Structure 1
Amino acid sequence: MSLKTIVEIGELLDFYGVLLTGRQREYMELYYNENLTLAEIAGHFGISRQAVHDTMGHAEEQLRAYEAKLQLFQKRMERMKLAEEILQRLPQEDRDWLGPMLTRITE
């Protein structure tokens, strides 16, 4: 799995993780946030590596489906890019006080 994919799934998990089942969310967090292997997760829960893989595959599909429909992550990235463009066009004295406000808007 590429680093880009790992980062992407991690971001989607932050946005939509609460919409997954408890077990799906737990496996995904252990894998993407705690860097456990599928075998380690399987051993911890006393199930097969394949069961973990299948559950995570379904969870990944769900995360991508949520993003395709809701586009919360994409919209946040667009807001962040726009805020950065605004900051770059402002004089330095305005950046100092507007920067924190723009950051809050994009969170």
Structure 2
Amino acid sequence: MEKNIKVSMLCEIYGKLLTDKQLEILTDYYNNDLSLSEIAENNKITRQAVRDIIKKGENKLLELEEKLLFMEKMMKQEKMLQEVLSELSKIEETSSDKKIEKILNHVRKELSCLV
């Protein structure tokens, strides 16, 4: 997975465990696509300070994921849900029983909300 996407996802999951400043700067850098210079200017700090905050924030997020594995579990669950939805579609395509089709359609709608 691309680093920018991974860090952005980790911010969504663990962002509340970072300092307000770390979360703000990581969000500006990864989600708002601001440069180190722009972030430094907005926060009235040096580019090096921005870089240090980003590095510390990234390390904290990676450490949390390494210990808690929330993102990994979420991705596995999403993959499993996609597989189940695919299987439901196959069953529905081959079924001629309207009652079963109705039940499968309802189950698919409920599961789709989780993806």
2:87 is matched with which residue: 74, 86, 89? 89
SS of the residue aligned with 1:47? coil
Report what 2:12 is aligned to: 14
SS at match of 2:2: helix
Name which of 99, 102, 105 aligns with 2:108: 99
Let me know the Cα RMSD of the aligned residues: 1.5
Q: Distance in 2 between matches of 1:74 and 1:101?
A: 23
Listed one character per residue, the Cα deviations across residues 36-74 of structure 1 (whole Å, up to 9, x for unaligned) are: 111100001111000000011000000001001111111
For 1:100, give the aligned amino acid.
K
Cα distance 1:52–1:82, how it changes in 2: closer, same or farther (>3 A)?
A: same
TM-score, normalised relative to structure 2: 0.83
Runs of 5+ consecutive residues of structure 1 not aligned to the other structure: none
Q: Which runs of 5+ in 2 are unaligned?
A: 93-100
- Displaced runs of 4+ in structure 1, greater than 3 A? 103-106
Aligned residues: 103
Q: In the TM superposition, what is the alpha-carbon distance from 1:100 to its structure 2 partner?
A: 3.0
Partner SS state of residue 35, structure 1? coil
1:7-86 to 2 correspondences below 5 Å: 7-86=5-84
TM-score using structure 1 length: 0.89
Which amino acid counterpart does residue 107 of structure 2 have in structure 1? Answer: L
User: In structure 1, how many angstroms separate the alpha carbons of the residues matched to 2:48 and 2:81?
Assistant: 43
